[in-house]
């Protein structure tokens, strides 16, 4: 296995502990050179496990620490710069060119279950944006994408979806379901109060995009379709 890209990149780090940290992550996760370069450039060691959450109040201590480890804040997908006048289909086509590297931002262990997962609640229809299963922690992870700034109602909506998955899908050997909300921007104080107002375990991360990428970001529905389509094309979707 070629390790030249690892040595080349981590030797540029002055801190020996950081060299060891990124080297160990690269070995464990099998990053390509662009992914390793991206993680170093965006300071993954500071972002990993940093998303504000209510896990300490909604999960037991040991599980709270485990769940926190799978969060990242800010979330830094490398979307392609796209002309803001492009039609939605073009946006999707260009977005999926980088979707696999984007998914790696979620970290190891995430298996895709589905997009727009349907739940019937006594005749009312609800759809979860993206549903994953963390194969290491044995838990469902509900992910909601918002192309707008965080609002308190977003936490309530995600908490509702987490409760649905917990009730309908969680098996007896599974750990508690958690939710992750990815938003364009957030007020940390508003997030803190909103998280205190829900009993379901959720975390909130901001995705860090350049102004050009932010302007070109597709709608939430187009974004979730792009995730699902690319995963399916690569044979990584649900069987």
Which long-range contacts link 150-153 to residues 24+ away (Cβ below 8 Å)?
A: 150/181, 150/183, 150/185, 150/186, 150/187, 150/190, 150/191, 150/194, 150/204, 150/206, 151/190, 152/190, 152/193, 152/194, 152/197
Per mean pLDDT, which range of 123-127, 144-148, 149-153, 170-174 is the poorest?
A: 144-148
Q: What is the pTM of this model?
A: 0.74
Structural domain tally of the chain? 2
Rounded Cα distance between 23 and 41, Å, is 14
90 or 24: which leads in pLDDT: 24
Examine the domain organization and report whether 24 and 95 are in the same domain.
Answer: no
239 inside domain: no
Is residue 192 within 8 A of residue 52, CB to CB? The reply is yes
The arithmetic mean of pLDDT across residues 210-230, rounded, is 60
The arithmetic mean of pLDDT across residues 135-162, rounded, is 92
Examine the domain organization and report whether 37 and 85 are in the same domain.
Answer: no
Q: Is pLDDT above 80 for 141?
A: yes
The secondary structure of residue 98, as a DSSP letter, is G
238 inside domain: no
Examine the domain organization and report whether 226 and 138 are in the same domain.
Answer: yes
The arithmetic mean of pLDDT across residues 153-180, rounded, is 96
Whether the CA torsion 77, 154, 202, 194 is positive or negative: it is: positive
> What range defines the domain where residue 25 resides?
1-41
Q: Is pLDDT above 60 for 46?
A: yes
Examine the domain organization and report whether 222 and 134 are in the same domain.
Answer: yes
Q: In this predicted structure, what is the pLDDT of residue 39?
A: 81
pLDDT in tens, 168-195: 999 999 999 999 998 888 999 999 999 9
102 inside domain: yes
Which run of H or of E encompasses 209? Answer: none
Q: Is pLDDT above 70 for 212?
A: no
Q: What's the chain's average pLDDT? A: 79
Q: In this predicted structure, what is the pLDDT of residue 89?
A: 45
Rounded Cα distance between 222 and 91, Å, is 8
Q: Is pLDDT above 50 for 25?
A: yes
């Amino acid at each position: 296995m070629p390790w030249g890209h690892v040595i080349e990149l981590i030797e540029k780090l002055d801190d020996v502990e950081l060299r060891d940290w990124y080297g160990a992550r690269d070995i464990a996760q099998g990053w390509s050179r662009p992914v390793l370069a991206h993680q170093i450039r965006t300071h993954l060691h500071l972002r990993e496990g940093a998303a504000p959450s209510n896990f300490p109040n909604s999960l037991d201590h040991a599980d709270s620490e485990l769940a926190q480890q799978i969060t990242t804040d800010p979330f830094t997908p490398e979307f392609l710069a796209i002309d803001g006048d492009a039609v939605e289909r073009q946006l999707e086509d260009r977005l999926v060119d980088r979707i696999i590297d984007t998914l790696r931002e979620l970290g190891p262990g995430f298996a895709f279950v589905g997009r727009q997962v349907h739940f019937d609640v006594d005749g009312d229809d609800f759809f979860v944006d993206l549903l994953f299963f963390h194969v290491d922690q044995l838990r469902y992870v509900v992910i909601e994408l918002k192309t707008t700034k965080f609002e308190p109602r977003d936490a309530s909506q995600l908490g509702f979806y987490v409760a649905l998955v917990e009730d309908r899908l969680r098996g007896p050997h599974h750990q508690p379901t958690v939710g992750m909300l990815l938003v364009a921007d957030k007020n940390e104080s508003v997030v803190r109060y909103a998280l205190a107002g829900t009993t379901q375990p959720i975390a909130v991360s901001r995705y860090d995009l350049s102004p050009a990428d932010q302007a070109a970001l597709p709608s939430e529905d187009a974004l979730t379709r792009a995730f699902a389509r690319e995963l399916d094309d690569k044979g990584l979707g649900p069987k």
